[in-house]
């Protein structure tokens, strides 16, 4: 007779044999069933592919062209959405740059977007989305962030003045307009004048300066700032640089009384989207 230990071993081997046998039989059954039904599945897929191909062949050229146009239209819509998102990203970066302006003593800085331009006076009249409800006043100075050519850094330069104000919008007369006059000071000198009225010349914007002292020596490239003589205008805000004529002179004497000069504006009015309005504190 078998001992108890041998009996247990024999029973364990029998259980393992049965388990492995069931697994093998199950796998064999799956293969047999799969091989049996494979022709049917293949024929169904072939019929489906053939039906799809024949449906394309049955459709007319006009239908296919219409589908192509729809796909192109959807692609254009997606491209436009991507372009809008990229523009929003650029605008967000520009607005972040405007927020970085240092505190101007006695003035509040209001960020604003240019919403319209006068087609007849494209560089002279701008409409912004800030008005009386935001505290904007007629005569308030409007500035914008620029990239300085001399240092490669950034600065803020004068765009113009607020000409008229409504509840939620304001009209800006730029320094190129004959509606805008600014009291200016030439860098490093007690030479004051009045700047205003200009035009685009090539890729630059040139503004005239009148009533400068005639007994002062001026040089092309000298920086022009706001003088701050008006209560609505802070001092030392960059406007531009003196431009020389063909002979290298920066000014011309007018009627033997005062000097006139031409200034290259620091702001590029072609690439202007956001501005800051400097509103005097109450």
- What residues contact residue 154 under an 8 Å CB cut-off, 6+ apart? 97, 145, 146, 147, 148
Per-10-residue mean pLDDT for the chain, 282 residues long?
60 61 60 52 50 57 74 72 56 50 69 88 91 89 81 81 92 92 82 89 90 88 85 84 81 85 91 86 71
How confident is the model over 59-110, as pLDDT tens digits?
666 777 777 777 777 777 776 666 655 555 555 545 445 555 555 667 788 8
- What residues contact residue 212 under an 8 Å CB cut-off, 6+ apart? 186, 191, 192, 193, 218, 251, 258, 259, 260, 261
Considering the entire predicted model, what is its pTM? 0.61
Nearest CA to 181 among 232, 246, 136, 146?
232
Residue 257 DSSP label: T
The values of phi and psi at residue 99, to 5°, are: -65, -20
Cα separation of 99 and 91, whole Å? 12
């Amino acid at each position: 007779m078998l001992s108890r230990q041998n009996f247990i071993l024999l029973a364990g081997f029998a259980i393992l044999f049965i388990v492995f046998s069931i697994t093998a039989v199950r796998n064999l059954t799956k293969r047999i069933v799969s091989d049996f039904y494979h022709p049917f599945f293949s024929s169904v897929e072939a019929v489906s592919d053939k039906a799809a191909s024949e449906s394309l062949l049955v459709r007319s050229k006009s239908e296919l062209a219409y589908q192509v146009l729809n796909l192109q239209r959807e692609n254009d819509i997606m491209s436009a959405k991507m372009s809008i998102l990229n523009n929003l990203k650029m605008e967000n970066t520009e607005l972040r740059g405007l927020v970085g302006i240092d505190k101007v003593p006695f003035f509040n800085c209001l960020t604003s977007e240019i919403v319209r331009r006068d087609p007849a006076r494209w560089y002279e009249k701008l409409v912004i989305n800030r008005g009386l409800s935001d505290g904007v006043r007629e005569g308030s100075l409007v500035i914008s962030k620029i990239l300085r050519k001399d240092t490669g850094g950034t600065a803020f330069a004068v765009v113009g003045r607020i000409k008229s104000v409504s509840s939620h919008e304001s009209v800006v007369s730029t320094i190129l307009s004959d509606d805008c006059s600014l009291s200016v000071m030439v860098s490093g000198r007690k030479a004051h004048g009045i700047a205003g009225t200009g035009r685009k010349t090539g890729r630059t914007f040139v503004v005239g300066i009148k009533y400068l002292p005639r007994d002062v020596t001026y040089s092309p490239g000298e920086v022009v700032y706001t003088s701050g003589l008006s209560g609505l205008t802070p001092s030392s805000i960059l406007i531009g640089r003196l431009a020389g004529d063909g002979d290298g002179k920066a000014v011309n004497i007018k009627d033997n009384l005062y000097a006139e000069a031409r200034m290259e504006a620091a702001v590029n009015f072609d690439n202007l989207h956001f501005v800051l309005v400097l509103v005097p504190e109450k």
